[in-house]
Amino acid sequence: GWWKTQWLVRELFDGITEIEHFNFLMDSHPEYDLAKIKYKVTTYEMDGKTIKFISKVYKPFQIHSKDGWKVK
């Protein structure tokens, strides 16, 4: 049943939420057109297959605007 992998669904949902939050922040600051971010990739082995996904998005460490790159 699905309850056996409910923990994985929750982790995937958390990663998606982090990415959506970051996208919202970028949309809120149209002066920035690019960002370099750090993120955590979680890896699991299940049934002989490798599952990798972004599970945590850290704040941007560089932001780009018309003036070039700057460190945040």
pLDDT of residue 11: 84
Secondary structure (3-state) at 40:
strand
> pTM for this structure?
0.65
pLDDT at 2: 65
Query: In the chain, where are the structural domains located?
Result: 2-71
The pLDDT, as a whole number, for residue 53 is: 86
Residues 6 or more apart whose CB falls under 8 angstroms from that of 60 comprise 22, 35, 36, 37, 72
The fraction of the chain above a pLDDT of 70, given in percent, is: 97
pLDDT score for 1:
67
Predicted confidence at residue 32, as pLDDT, reads 93
